[in-house]
Structure formats: structure tokens, C-alpha cells
Amino acid sequence: MSVLPHHLVATSLSSSTSNFFAQNSFDVVRTQVVSAPFRKMGVCKCVATSPTEQTAYKTQVSRNGNIAKLQAGYLFPEIGRRKAAHMLKHPDAQVISLGIGDTTEPIPEVITSAMAKRALALSTVEGYSGYGAEQGEKQLRARLASTFYGNLGIEEDDIFVSDGAKSDISRLQVCVLFGSNVTMAVQDPSYPAYVDSSVIMGQTGQFQKDVEKFGKIEYMKCTPENDFFPDLSKVSRTDIIFFCSPNNPTGSAASREQLIQLVKFAKDNGSIIIYDSAYAMYVSGDTPKSIFEIPGAKEVAIETASFSKYAGFTGVRLGWTVVPKELKYSDGFPVAKDFNRIVCTGFNGASNIAQAGGLACLSPEGLEIIVDTFTSLGFKVYGGKHAPYVWVHFPGQSSWDVFSEILEKTHVVTTPGSGFGPAGEGFVRVSAFGHRDNVLEACRRFKELYK
């Protein structure tokens, strides 16, 4: 069954997404019990542009010029404005949003019961606990190490439990990136938080409107032409390399061979990879779920991970970051020690209730439910090399034009690919989340439009 017409060319690494998309529509994706959304973007949804309340008084404190560099009318606020305008124009339309994704499916009871139990215990003398370790509870760190990195040499004390990957990326910026001459590379397109937090920290130059890039950032082009993996021979050396796999927004997952190349590239250049594995649960087969499956990665990589997609914890807030003790600055000082210091200075640990939920996810019963859930998604039928979103190519068209046409004619909200970087121009990202009925209805409307 083909949902999108032939001129919507879905592309992804190893063409898995296009297979997936063409053969299965959205309905297979929607069989999930534990939902697994896009991460919400690192952009602000409510920055007004004109100060409405004028008082005479101003302090003499200068505004941080780096924040001013950020682009004001950013991706998701703009989508929100256009959606609102559309709804005003078509008050009776049933608008379906496949733009920003979010988890929508309930969390398995074995997990919520554990959290409720922990919450209720806080009313008892025996069950009460105050400040926990900034790095997370020992038992959870140990279970994360054994569950996800059992034979990879990652130990309990390499793992820092957090309130989510977005906070950790921000802390990593302070710890690792902050400094006057540190340079960074990102996949283009990629999750905007990497670039945004780097801009705020003063790592970048101004936004260059002509090329739609910030100065001093190395954009690693990921397009259908290079199988969504950057041609590393053309990438300049940087101190930091942000790498997300499976990638948001393209849905492509780097293969073992590609990650071996990436680790070698980092090692040859003395770079540090910050590997975002938020969508790792969506890969299967031989495609690595962790960068630490690659020999030597412990000396060049940090990995951020999250319970958000794994167990629908987007609102509960729980994630972790792995900083192996083998990773060293140029003077031989372990990166983990500075990261630990940052965590201890600016964070007081994840909520103890959320951590109880995380532990339940990793219990034998919790694990079984989660594994069943992901197995039932049927991804393995298509080689396991994709993520739960689709990156659709409209050659020669502008992303915003395609976005507008789809919205105008089908009342479906998507996300213009150009918002993820200049190489995203000509694409839209279609989220395969949202309630099943909505996704099916959106498919019907797409077919109608492009029949």
C-alpha cells in the first residue's frame, strides 16, 4: 500500500525509511504501546518580539550579546503562528499536527506503580529520602550500566542520571564546550539545541543569512546523496562533533561501518564526539544502539540517552549521560571529573520518583514489556535501520512552500526541513506519532491531495 504519491520521495539512510514509509504507511508505526516521540526542540515557544510593558526604569546591566544572536522567529514558534492563522481562516477544519512530535501513549503500569509507590513512601519515616546523589541513585546507575552497556566496559560510575538529555546537552556545553577557542561540528540537518546552546555560550559567530549558518560552526552535510552520513574527508577538524543517530529529523541511523569511520575520524583529530542516542530503541539488527559498541569510542565519545522515547517519559523527565573515564582532555585530565563538577554545582539530581520509574523500566518485568513493545513495532522487518519519523524530499521546492501547501490543502501540520539546517531545504519532516486515528486520517488526506 502506498500512501504518499510518487513525487514525494522519501529518503533515508539505506533507504530504509522509504521502504518503511511506502510499504507500511503509518499504521505499523502506530501499534506501539509505549509511545516514542520526537524530542521537543530546543527552541523557545513563547518569545514575544515586542516589549509590551514599558516602564521607565532600566538597569545598567548589559544584555548577554550571545543570546541576541539566536534567531528570533525560530522554527516551532513560526509553525505555531502559521497553524494558528490557518485555524483562524478555517475555523471548522480538523487540523492534525504531525509537526512537533510528543509521546501520546500511556506508560505501562509496572512503571507508574513503582513511581506511585515511591511517592507514597515519602510520607513514611522509613520511605522518606531527602537529597539524593547529584549523579543519580546507585542502583539505577548500576542497572543502566548492566542493561545497556553490559559487555562494553562502561561502569556504574561512568553514568550520570539526569532530568533529561536536553539539560545534559546544556551542561555539556558548559563543561566541555565552554572556552574561548573551542570549535564544534553538527550534522546538517540536526536537532537545533546543539547549535542554539553553542550560540548562547558564545562559541559561534553571527548568523549568516546568505548561507543560513552561524559562523564558526562546521556543518556536516547529510543528504540522500551521501546516504545521510557526512563525507568526513571534507569535514574540517573541530574539538567537538555532535552526532545524533538515529538522526532527528532525517530518521537515518548510522551503520556500524560508518560509526567506525566516525570514531577513527575523531581519534585522528583528537576530537570529542557527543553522541545523542535518544532514538536508539528504534534500531535493531547489527546497527549499533550505542557509540560504545565501537572499539576505541570510550577514548573519544560521550553519549547522552533518555527514557523519553524508551518509556514515554517526556513529562516525567529522566535521562542519562555516559562519560567514560578513558576520555581525557589534551592535558590528560579526565573529562568525567569536570562533568561531575558541573553536575554537582548546577544540579541536584533527578526526581527520586522519576528514578524509581527508571528502575522499574529496567526490572525484568519492565524490560520485557518494553522489548515486546518495540518488537511489535515491526521495525525489524525493514532492517531496523530507521527511526519513527519520515524525511520527505520535494526536490526544487522550498520547505516552507511545501509546508504551506500541505497545511492549506489537507489541514495537516508538518515541519519544514530547512528549520534543521540549510541541508534540510526542500524536505519536510512528517512525524509518525500522534494518535493512530489521526495519523490514518492524515494519510487519507495526503492521498487525496497527491492522487
- Per DSSP, the residues of 363-432 read SHHHHHHHHHHHHHTTGGGGTTBB-SEEEEE-TTS-HHHHHHHHHHHH-EE-EEGGGG-GGGTTEEEEE-
Cα distances (angstroms) measured from residue 95 to each of 40, 434, 441, 449: 20, 12, 10, 15
Q: Shortest Cβ distance from residue 30 to a second copy (Å)?
A: 14
> 180 to 209, contacts with a second copy by CB under 8 A?
181-182, 193, 196-197, 200-202
Pick between residue 329 and residue 380 the one whose CB is nearest to a second copy: 329
Residue pair 219/213 in contact (Cβ under 8 Å)? The answer is: yes
With CB under 8 A as the contact rule, the residue among 15, 16, 170, 258 that binds a second copy is 170
Pick between residue 184 and residue 430 the one whose CB is nearest to a second copy: 184
Pick between residue 102 and residue 293 the one whose CB is nearest to a second copy: 102
Cell numbers found for residue 425: 531545504
With CB under 8 A as the contact rule, the residue among 269, 363, 397, 398 that binds a second copy is 269
| Sequence-ordered list of residues with C-beta below 8 angstroms from that of 357, at least 6 positions apart, any chain | 107, 111, 112, 114, 115, 118, 307, 311, 313, 316, 318
Q: Shortest Cβ distance from residue 200 to a second copy (Å)?
A: 6
Euclidean distance between CA atoms 361 and 253, whole angstroms: 24
> 28 to 67, contacts with a second copy by CB under 8 A?
35, 37, 40, 42-48, 51, 53-55, 57-67
Strand boundaries in 163-216, DSSP class E: 184-188, 207-208, 213-214
Residue pair 256/395 in contact (Cβ under 8 Å)? The answer is: no
> 278 to 337, contacts with a second copy by CB under 8 A?
299-300, 312, 314-317, 325-334, 337
Q: Shortest Cβ distance from residue 189 to a second copy (Å)?
A: 18
Residue pair 99/400 in contact (Cβ under 8 Å)? The answer is: no
> 119 to 158, contacts with a second copy by CB under 8 A?
119-125, 127-135
Pick between residue 227 and residue 239 the one whose CB is nearest to a second copy: 239
Q: Shortest Cβ distance from residue 132 to a second copy (Å)?
A: 5
Cell numbers found for residue 410: 489537507
With CB under 8 A as the contact rule, the residue among 147, 348, 375, 376 that binds a second copy is 348
> 218 to 247, contacts with a second copy by CB under 8 A?
239-240
With CB under 8 A as the contact rule, the residue among 99, 136, 164, 419 that binds a second copy is 164
SS3 207: strand
> 358 to 397, contacts with a second copy by CB under 8 A?
none
Residue pair 356/366 in contact (Cβ under 8 Å)? The answer is: no
Q: Shortest Cβ distance from residue 449 to a second copy (Å)?
A: 28
Residue pair 244/262 in contact (Cβ under 8 Å)? The answer is: no
Pick between residue 158 and residue 227 the one whose CB is nearest to a second copy: 158
Pairing of strands 427-431, 389-393: antiparallel
- Residue 416 backbone dihedrals phi, psi, to 5 degrees: -65, 130
With CB under 8 A as the contact rule, the residue among 277, 290, 321, 352 that binds a second copy is 352
> 396 to 435, contacts with a second copy by CB under 8 A?
none
Q: Shortest Cβ distance from residue 78 to a second copy (Å)?
A: 14
Which window, 217-225, 256-264, 343-351, 371-379, contacts a second copy (CB under 8 A)? 343-351
Pick between residue 14 and residue 204 the one whose CB is nearest to a second copy: 204
Euclidean distance between CA atoms 217 and 397, whole angstroms: 26
